[in-house]
Each structure stands twice: as C-alpha cells, then as structure tokens.
C-alpha cells in the first residue's frame, strides 16, 4: 500500500538533493571544522555556505544565524538569553496557542517567579491585539509569538506587531518553525530580534535547527562550551545536517521564488472544500484568510479524531488529530481549546498538512476515502445520534 503523507507539519521527508549533499560528510569529509588542517577547514567552508543559504531564506546576514539541534533548542535559547540579558525584567509575554517548546518553558519560568502573560486568541485563532499591547510594560523582558500555528496554520501579523514592540524597546522572538520555507520572510522588514527555525519541517533531517539573532541583540549562550558558532553555541557542529539544512534552505528559497506554494495551497483548498461539501457538520478551524498555504484543520463534529486517524491509516493516509491523545490525555489540544472550539468539534479535528511532494491523485484518494469513514463513525456515535434527534 502506498503511503499518502499529509502530516508535514509533524515532519517532512528529507529531499533527495538534501540527502545527496549530506552523504559525503559522514565518511569522506569527516574532519572537525575547528581543526587546523585543511581536511577539517574545508568542512568549515561548507558550513559557512550553509549559513549563507539559511540567512538568504529569511533575508538575514550569515553571521546572524546560529545552528542549533532543533526548533525547541532555538526557542529555549532565545527566551533564556532574553531573561539573562535583562535580569531586572520579570515579565514575559506569549500567546495561548504556542507550541509546547514555548508554552511549557513559559510555565516553568512562571513557577520560578516570572510573570507570564498568555495572550488569548479569538474563535478563528487570531491574536487579541488590544489585550496584547495592554499587557506590555517596562518590566517586559521578551515577547514570543509564533509566526504560523502548527495545528491550524493561522498566521499572526508578526511584521506589524514586532515593529510596534521594537519601538517600545522590548525584545521580540518569533517561533517561525512552521513558517520558514512556506511563506516569504524578509526579516529586516520586521522588528524581530530572534527567530527560530527547524530543518525537519522543510525537508532536511530531524535534529538540526537554527536561531536568527539580529546583529546587536543582547545574547548569552544556552550551550556553553567551545568557541563554535562564535561562542554563541558550544559543541562540535553537526556538519552533515548543517550542510543538509543549507541545501534544504536553497531548495525552499527556489520553491518560494517560483511561487511553488500556489500549487500546494490549491491542493489544500480542493481537499478542504470538497470535504466541506461532502461531509455534513464539518468545520474549518482557524482563520482561512491568514493561514499557512499547506495546512488545514477540519473538525468533523461528533466523532473521535483518533478513530478517524486509525481508519484513514488503513488506506495509508497519514494525518494528525487535534487532541493530545497520543500523549496519554484525551483532552483536545490547548490550541483548539484556546480558540473556544466546542468539545464535540475539537475531538473530531484532523490536521492535514501538505508538502511539495503531494499530488492531486493523493488528494483525490483522501476525498474519496474519508467521507464514508466519517459516515460510518457517526453511525456508531451516540453524540451524533443525540445531535440529530435534536
């Protein structure tokens, strides 16, 4: 059975070009980039090329890019650097719909005595802008807002908000893990001081990420050690993965320049619109006018997301649900709860996230297989019966 992979916000396939670019760095050019000899020095040169490619993808300067092990490390490094750089400030701001890499860190910091504001969102997942600006003060050490939401794809107006925050002299970090490579980012046109990205969300391997740090931003390293990354992140470089990330960044930039996401968003829209037309009581979670081009979160009311996933899995269709069931809890996700999605809809929410490797044939198969699955599950659902009997 062929796999139809529409779970690209979870992780992506390593692009063949990326794998090819990486392979020589395992057993041919395995020198340590910090070594004095040419064998290592050449690798250092390749790392710098990768740094330039990553910088170009977001419109940054190469020396503003620090390689990390993942998006989570980039997020944690940014927040910890901010609070260490401004020890007198005790207030930190984020939103209610962030990835656990930020959400859980803020909760830990709140237990340690920081005052953490989690800005609410509306029913469409849009930030409550007035609440946000009202929360800022001279005591605010950092604002961290995601660029694109991993579950719904909703995009926050980061350019605009970050400029305003910068004008108030407050540091601004964005978790752009889901946005980089999917939407154009010109970092100099924003007020963003730090930005997190992660390679495995755009066709490079897992376990490699980067943190953009605007020149002049106060910073202290999280990983203290050797002089690597100009002292901003100790530890021998993950050379092959860095080179893979550089290649993936180059491919993503070319894809964006070609408007490659137009095709992906058309496929996403076809999937979404056909499901809405074929399945009664199906709802889109999140503002469809400001969304990542590859993502849709569809709520099928009165059925369980996990049951839908299992039945789709029998057809080789890989997506994700909007509840945290796999982590041992039956609670719907904090993102859908923050948006006020009713339990009956949140429980039946499925996220489809596409990539440039998806085809129209695959979308047609999902459109054919999924509606009967929902109908079958509803036949078994006491909630559906109850709702229909009204």
Q: Which residues bind ligand PLP (CB under 6 A)?
A: 70-72, 75, 99, 101, 146, 150, 175, 177-178, 198, 200, 209
Cα 189 to Cα 207: distance, rounded to the nearest angstrom = 29
CB of 374 to ligand PLP, least distance (A): 26
Nearer to ligand PLP, 72 or 77 (CB): 72
β-pair type (115-119, 91-95): parallel
CB of 75 to ligand PLP, least distance (A): 6
CB of 197 to ligand PLP, least distance (A): 9
Backbone φ and ψ for 116, nearest 5 degrees, come out as -105, 130
Q: Is 154 helix (H, G, I), strand (E, B) or coil?
A: strand
Q: Within 10 A of 146 (CB to CB), how many other CB atoms are there?
A: 27
* DSSP letter (8 states) at residue 69: S
Nearer to ligand PLP, 12 or 117 (CB): 12
Q: Within 10 A of 375 (CB to CB), how many other CB atoms are there?
A: 14
β-pair type (140-146, 171-175): parallel
Q: DSSP letters of 68-103?
A: ES-HHHHHHHHHHHHHHHSTT--EEEEETT--HHHH
- Known catalytic membership, residue 318: no
Among 13, 129, 325, 387, the active-site one is 325
Cα 153 to Cα 9: distance, rounded to the nearest angstrom = 9
Crossing angle, helix 360-379 and helix 261-278, to 10 degrees?
A: 30
Nearer to ligand PLP, 208 or 311 (CB): 208
Output the six-digit token pair for 292: 């990542």
CB of 3 to ligand PLP, least distance (A): 20
Output the six-digit token pair for 65: 């890019």
Strand order in 349-353's β-sheet? 282-284, 295-300, 349-353, 320-321
Nearer to ligand PLP, 242 or 370 (CB): 242
Nearer to ligand PLP, 246 or 371 (CB): 246
CB of 281 to ligand PLP, least distance (A): 28
Q: Which residues have CB under 8 Å from 259's CB, separation 6+?
A: none
Nearer to ligand PLP, 89 or 351 (CB): 351
Which residue has its beta carbon closest to ligand PLP? 71
CB of 172 to ligand PLP, least distance (A): 16
User: Which helix (H) or strand (E) is 160 found in, with range?
Assistant: helix 158-167
Cα 215 to Cα 65: distance, rounded to the nearest angstrom = 10
Indicate which residues carry an active-site annotation. 325
């Amino acid at each position: 059975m062929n796999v139809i992979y529409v779970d690209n916000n979870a992780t992506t396939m390593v692009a063949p070009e990326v794998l090819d670019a990486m392979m020589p760095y395992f057993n041919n050019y395995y020198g340590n980039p910090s070594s004095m000899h040419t064998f290592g020095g050449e690798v250092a040169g390749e790392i710098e090329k990768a740094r330039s490619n990553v910088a170009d993808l977001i419109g940054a300067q190469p020396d503003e890019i620090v390689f990390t092990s993942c998006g989570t490390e980039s997020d944690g490094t940014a927040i910890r650097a901010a609070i260490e750089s401004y020890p007198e400030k005790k207030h930190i701001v984020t939103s209610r719909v962030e990835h656990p890499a930020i959400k859980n860190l803020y909760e830990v910091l709140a237990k340690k005595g920081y005052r953490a504001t989690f800005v609410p969102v509306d029913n469409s997942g849009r930030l409550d802008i007035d609440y946000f600006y009202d929360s800022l003060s001279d005591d605010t050490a950092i604002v961290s807002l995601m660029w694109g939401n991993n579950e719904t794809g909703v995009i926050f107006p980061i350019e605009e908000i970050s400029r305003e925050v910068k004008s108030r002299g407050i540091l601004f970090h964005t978790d752009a893990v889901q946005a980089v490579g999917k939407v154009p980012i010109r970092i100099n046109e924003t007020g963003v001081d730090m930005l997190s990205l992660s390679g495995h969300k755009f066709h490079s391997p897992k376990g490699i990420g980067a943190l953009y740090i605007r020149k002049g931003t106060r910073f202290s390293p999280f990983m203290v050690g050797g002089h690597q990354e100009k002292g901003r992140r100790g530890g021998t470089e993950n050379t092959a993965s860095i080179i893979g990330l550089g290649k993936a960044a180059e491919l993503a930039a070319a894809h964006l320049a070609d408007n490659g996401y137009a095709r992906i968003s058309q496929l996403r829209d076809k999937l979404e619109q056909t499901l809405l037309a074929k399945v009664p009581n199906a709802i889109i979670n999140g503002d469809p006018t400001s969304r990542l081009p590859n993502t849709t979160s569809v709520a099928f009311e009165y059925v369980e997301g996990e049951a839908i996933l299992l039945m789709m899995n029998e057809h080789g269709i890989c997506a994700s649900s909007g509840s945290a069931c796999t982590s041992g809890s039956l609670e719907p996700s904090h993102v859908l709860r923050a948006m006020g999605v009713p339990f009956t809809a949140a429980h039946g929410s499925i996220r489809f996230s596409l990539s440039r490797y998806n085809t129209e044939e695959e979308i047609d198969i999902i459109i054919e297989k999924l509606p009967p699955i929902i109908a079958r599950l509803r036949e078994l659902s006491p909630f559906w019966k109850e709702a229909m009997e009204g």
